[in-house]
């Protein structure tokens, strides 16, 4: 190989790596991370409520709400930029009658309340996970993450990252509809 070929080799390797990572970012990549909790009951949860008028959020309450109709548990924070991007989709689900439970992770309550006051509140209940311990029980890597809970109180699906129009229409709505039947 001549010296021009050797000089171009690092550029070729860099181009291949950039192409690979670029594809991973656009193909959903980590959105389909497996969860050991799939088809298992919701994990132990006991969190104070963000709203003074609500009782603490527990796994028993999540199961009781899910017994009425399948629901979503969404892990969010006011400081999370993708959480802002997915928020209109959560609001749309609420308008369609879907129960959405919030786990507010590592956030100041006043910031979470301001976030919801500015963007709207799609949550039927919100638990404050100030230290992130409940999120660890749920197997959460980061925010946002969303779980679909069936009528038996079992986790049926986990979505990592922000919900977008494609995820809403191709995954969440069909799954919620099939679980409601």
Provide, rounded to the nearest whole percent, the portion of the chain with pLDDT above 70. 81
Q: Rounded distance, CA 32 to CA 155, Å?
A: 14
The secondary element (H helix, E strand) that includes residue 75 is: strand 71-76
pLDDT of 117-145, one tens digit each? 999 999 999 999 999 999 999 999 999 99
Q: What is the dihedral of CA 86, 116, 150, 177, to 10 degrees?
A: -60
pTM of the model: 0.82
Regarding whether 95 and 139 lie in a shared domain, the answer is yes
Q: How many domains does the chain have?
A: 2
Average pLDDT on 112-117 reads 98
30, 31, 33, 160, 163 from 23: Cα distances, Å: 12, 13, 16, 17, 19
Regarding whether 99 and 15 lie in a shared domain, the answer is no
pLDDT of 9-38, one tens digit each? 666 556 555 555 555 554 444 445 567 899
Range of the domain at 13: 1-31
Burial class (CB in 10 A: 0-12, 13-18, 19+), 46: middle
């Amino acid at each position: 190989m001549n010296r021009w070929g050797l000089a171009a080799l690092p550029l070729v390797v860099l181009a291949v790596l950039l192409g690979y990572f670029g594809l991973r970012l656009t193909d959903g990549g980590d959105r389909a991370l497996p969860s050991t909790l799939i088809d298992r009951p919701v994990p132990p949860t006991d969190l104070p409520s963000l709203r003074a008028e609500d009782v603490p959020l527990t796994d028993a309450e999540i199961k009781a709400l899910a017994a009425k109709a399948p629901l979503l548990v969404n892990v969010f924070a006011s400081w999370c930029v993708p959480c802002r991007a997915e928020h209109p989709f959560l609001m749309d689900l609420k308008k369609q009658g879907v129960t959405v439970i919030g786990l507010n992770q590592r956030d100041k309550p006043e910031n979470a309340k301001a976030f919801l006051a500015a963007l709207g509140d799609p949550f039927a209940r919100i638990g404050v996970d100030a230290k992130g311990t409940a999120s660890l029980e749920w197997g959460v890597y980061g925010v946002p993450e969303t779980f679909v809970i069936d009528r038996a109180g079992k986790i049926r699906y986990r979505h990592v990252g922000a919900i977008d129009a494609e995820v809403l229409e191709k995954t969440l709505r069909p799954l919620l509809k099939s679980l409601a039947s």
